[in-house]
Amino acid sequence: MDKIAEIKSAFDSEISLCETLQELQELKVKYLGKSGELTVLLKSIKDLPAEERPTFGAKVNVLRGELESEFSKRSEQLKQMEMQRRLQEERVDISLTSSQPLGALHPVTLIENQISELLVAMGFEVLSGPEIETDYYNFQALNIPSDHPARDMQDTFYVTDSILLRTHTSPMQARHMEKKKPPIKMICVGKVFRSDSDASHSPVFHQIEGLVVDKNITLCDLKGTLEYIASNLFGKDTKVRFRPSFFPFTEPSVEVDLSCSNCGGKGCSLCKGTGWIEVLGAGMVNPFVLENCGIDSKKYNGYAFGIGVERIAMIKYGIPDIRLFYENDQRFLKQFGK
Ligand code: PHE
């Protein structure tokens, strides 16, 4: 009987020291296995006097029952602990992504989007065209004769004699008019290329081309559209002024100025004291261009404009040098946010 109590107390302290299922299994073999403590004890029954055997046998069986139930209890505990440990170790910290810095749209994109949205609201469709263009669409279709200064090697990046990087978005006027008959109301947003570089010129910059062709279109329609854009971009008191100019593909042609948003027209360093800032070229579509594209110029007419996107962004945000747009300096880009 002493032996039974001894085994029970030894077992109790040993099982509490088991930290893994492996250790627990080893302990189980030690006590309940084929040559385990309890089995040996049970075998010793034959050495006892006959009358003590039943009580002894019963006690050993009770002990076996106790040991078995403690094994399964401890095994359950260890499984739980193992599960907790793995949950802890294999945890994925999903909060980490929130520490990533957020990007923002480039100021050129912001202005492009803003102007495009205004024009789309007025019913213009948005097109894009090839940046590598043929001489035909960039020049000839637009009534630019071969001796025009715009074709000078200094301005144009040529790929071959007849293929070049488009110097403006106007080739999309011709491409579109060839395909679609009036009424036409489209804009084309994209990159253009010129061999020119200083604080206000970049070899690559962005334009938004606008084209309307229908019956009885006038310069007043052009002016109204531009006034709408100007007042949305620079405030409702902004004035639009037309000055006579020349483009081979528009007749008459105009240079468009806005009243200076910095000084309200009084004259400051931004507008060089004039109160006006030149922002774009425009005009009534030259009948030659309409005819080149298969549109009857006696029935239809239209207007076109080409906005320099960087120029608008420079005026709106007070940016002194066009090269800042392309350097990807985050100190510059961060300021425009959403
Ligand atoms: N394509 C001209 C330029 O790049 C701008 C322009 C567009 C002028 C449409 C008139 C009409 O300078």
Q: What is the mean pLDDT of residues 172-178?
A: 98
Other beta carbons within 10 angstroms of residue 174's beta carbon come to 24
- 3-state SS class at 172: helix
- Report how far ligand 1's centroid is from the alpha carbon of 192 (Å): 12
Gap between the Cα atoms of 153 and 150, Å rounded: 8
The preferred substitution site among 133, 156, 170, 221 for testing ligand 1, maximizing ligand atoms within 8 Å of CB, is 170
H-run or E-run covering 5: helix 2-17
pLDDT exceeds cutoff 70 at 101: yes
Whether the predicted model's global pTM rises above the 0.85 cut: no
Can you read off the two tokens belonging to residue 142? 């637009």
Residue with tokens 């945890």: 91
Amino acid type, 76: E
Other beta carbons within 10 angstroms of residue 191's beta carbon come to 15
Atom of ligand 1 nearest to the CA of 170: 1
Looking at the DSSP bridge assignments, the partners of residue 244 are 254
From the list 136, 134, 138, 133, the residue with the least C-alpha distance to 150 is 138
From the list 167, 141, 142, 144, the residue with the least C-alpha distance to 154 is 167
- 3-state SS class at 241: strand
Q: What is the pLDDT of residues 122-145, one digit of tens each?
A: 999 999 999 999 999 999 999 998
Least confident of 211-215, 288-292, 300-304, 328-332: 328-332
Amino acid type, 193: F
- Report how far ligand 1's centroid is from the alpha carbon of 284 (Å): 11
Gap between the Cα atoms of 225 and 271, Å rounded: 23
The preferred substitution site among 249, 251, 311 for testing ligand 1, maximizing ligand atoms within 8 Å of CB, is 249
Q: What is the pLDDT of residues 255-301, one digit of tens each?
A: 999 999 888 889 888 888 999 999 999 999 999 999 999 999 999 99
- Report how far ligand 1's centroid is from the alpha carbon of 281 (Å): 5
Answer with the residue of higher pLDDT: 159 or 47. Answer: 159
pLDDT value, residue 286: 98
- 3-state SS class at 66: helix
Q: What are phi and psi of 281, to 5 degrees?
A: -110, 150
Across the chain, mean pLDDT equals 91
